Amino acid sequence: MEPVPHPLERVTQLIAILFIALTVFMVVRRYQTHATLFISGFALLILAYVSARITGNPFTAYEHSPTGWFGFDLFAIVKESFSTRLAKIGLIIMAAGGFARYMSSISASTALVKLSVRPLSNLKNPYLLLAFAYAVGQTLNIFVPSAAGLAMLLLVAMYPTLVELGLRPVSVAAVIGTTACLDLGPASGASNVAASVSGMEPVVYFVRYQLPVAVFVIPVVALLHFLWQRFCDKRLPEEPEQALAGLQDEVPNENVPGFYAFLPILPLVLLLVFSPLVVKSIQVDVVTAMLISLFFSMGCEAIRKRSLREALAGIVHFFKGMGDILAKVVTLIVAAETFATGVKATGLIDGLIGMVQNAGMGSIAMVIALVLLIGFTTLVTGSGNAALFSFANMIPGIASPMGVSTVTMMLPAQLAAGLFRSFSPVAGVIIAVSSAANVSPFAIVKRTSVPMIGGVIVMVIVHALIH
């Protein structure tokens, strides 16, 4: 016979739900996300601590007080999170972000995009071209992990050609705005967090889990873009062609040798070759692969510019990229982890699991509930990372009692965050493409909603069938 829960435990969980709702409201109202998550996490921890003292239950945020006084323990928890994340997942994401910034600074990313879109010029049907443009862009996202950065490159490389072929600017902008919707590959911050929480290397997570689902989702999204954009265009009156004034100035466009297009791919090649998938005797992790590729690229720059001084000076772009990722992403991970620690300490997750089990819901139903929860959070905040990071550390505690692996729930949650972000009117990438194409973000969202919702449905179905 199970013990009867103390009445205060239910009250604590109800108050926790109110705190979570208030947190979402504050983020939607543009309160600073990092600070909001920290403060909400502290409030939840205080709630859990008071409840534990009254009911006599153990305080689950830690076994032993780090400082000897609970008031200081709150900040010690944050310090411990910083120490852990900076040394592990934080360093991986920072190295990937730094390498992406360096590739942009030497125009290697631009060269890769130009090379990739060149074959598209052979297609005659404009809407077929639009569908293939999405598929090419989604593939490029593996090597250019920034959704907004990739969109800017594609707006310069693809947009003028597609509009000249008779496509509506809003259609082209919508497709470009969704090219990073799956957040694929070891360079993606979301993918790295998902892999870390799932207890595996990013390249293994990419090859064994992301790719088998992505190969089904990408064609479906491309087909839906073909059908939906054509349908929407037929219902619109003729409109003048939109220009991308000044956009070229925002994207490096230096003439570089053709082989520079392969430099952004080098880290992935190293990770795939020197991994348990191919060469098992030599192991290369993400940070090592990024550093090897960085110094190889600097050597290429020294030869191209015939100046060792100038080539060495370029490493500053790598460090600046790392700094940007630290300020924007790593700190968000720590803030979200503090929030997640508070949520778990209140017993809300255990209560949710118990409710699901008592209702007879299986793991598939829990996956759908998790996808919808993260999807809603992403829609209202515009950030897939903020939504995923806020719930990622809770997923192992949800998966284990249900008898499934962490990655079984983590993968659809991670992919859903990117898909829902691509039809959020407050997402950075949607705002960026709408501004560049001189259309409303809501006009873009109308064009991206059907392909993205279709992508979410197919993703959940395929994942359920193959995992």
SS3 state at 438: coil
pLDDT at 433: 83
Please write down the long-range contacts of 237-243, taking CB distance under 8 Å and 24 or more positions apart. 239/168, 239/169, 241/163, 241/169, 242/163, 242/169, 242/437, 242/438, 242/439
Secondary structure of the chain: what % helix, strand, coil (to 5)? 75, 0, 25
SS3 state at 30: coil
pTM score, whole prediction? 0.74
pLDDT tens-digit map of 272-281: 888 777 887 8
Residues 6+ positions from 264 with CB-CB distance below 8 Å:
100, 103, 108, 109, 112, 143, 144
What is the H or E stretch that residue 292 is in?
helix 286-305
Tell me how far CA of residue 159 lies from CA of 17, 38, 137, 294, in angstroms.
Answer: 44, 40, 12, 30
341 band by pLDDT with thresholds 50, 70 and 90:
confident
Is 286 in contact with 77 (CB distance < 8 Å)? no
In angstroms, how far apart are the furthest CA atoms of the chain?
78
Which two three-digit tokens encode residue 283?
């192991």
Is 407 in contact with 131 (CB distance < 8 Å)? no
pLDDT tens-digit map of 74-97: 999 999 989 887 877 788 878 888
N- to C-terminal Cα distance for the chain? 34
- Please return the burial class of 148, using the count of CB atoms within 10 Å of its CB with bins 0-12, 13-18 and 19+: middle
> Tokens 């199970």 appear where?
2
Q: Looking at this protein, which amino acid is placed at residue 44?
A: L
Cα 5 to chain centroid distance, Å, stands at: 38
What is the H or E stretch that residue 141 is in?
none
Cα 401 to chain centroid distance, Å, stands at: 27
pLDDT at 287: 87
- Please return the burial class of 193, using the count of CB atoms within 10 Å of its CB with bins 0-12, 13-18 and 19+: buried
CA dist 51 and 194 (Å) reads 32
CA dist 390 and 334 (Å) reads 9
Torsion angle, alpha carbons of 82, 85, 88, 94, to 10: -90
Q: Using alpha carbons, select from 177, 245, 132, 165 the residue that is nearest to residue 442.
A: 177
pLDDT tens-digit map of 121-151: 677 788 998 999 899 889 988 887 778 778 8
HSE at residue 271, side-chain half, CA atoms within 13 A, is: 27
pLDDT at 316: 96
pLDDT tens-digit map of 289-320: 889 999 999 999 999 999 999 999 999 999 99
- Mean pLDDT over 419-423 rounds to 93
Cα 250 to chain centroid distance, Å, stands at: 23
What is the Cα gyration radius of the chain?
23
More confident residue, 384 or 359: 384
Task: Provide the sign of the torsion angle of the four alpha carbons 176, 98, 325, 186, taken in this order.
Answer: positive
What is the H or E stretch that residue 377 is in?
helix 363-381
SS3 state at 375: helix
HSE at residue 409, side-chain half, CA atoms within 13 A, is: 30
Q: Looking at this protein, which amino acid is placed at residue 427?
A: A
Tell me how far CA of residue 368 lies from CA of 134, 371, 397, 460, 461, in angstroms.
Answer: 26, 5, 17, 8, 10
Mean residue pLDDT across the chain = 84
Task: Provide the sign of the torsion angle of the four alpha carbons 425, 428, 434, 440, taken in this order.
Answer: positive
pLDDT at 360: 59
> Tokens 């109308």 appear where?
446
SS3 state at 146: coil
- Mean pLDDT over 442-454 rounds to 93
pLDDT at 239: 52
CA dist 111 and 304 (Å) reads 15
Residues 6+ positions from 241 with CB-CB distance below 8 Å:
163, 169
What is the H or E stretch that residue 332 is in?
helix 331-345
Is the model's pLDDT at 169 over the cut of 70? yes
Lowest mean pLDDT among 24-28, 137-141, 280-284: 24-28
Length of the chain equals 467
Residues 6+ positions from 21 with CB-CB distance below 8 Å:
none
pLDDT tens-digit map of 217-261: 999 999 999 999 999 988 876 554 444 444 444 555 678 888 998
More confident residue, 23 or 191: 191
pLDDT at 245: 44
pLDDT at 3: 55
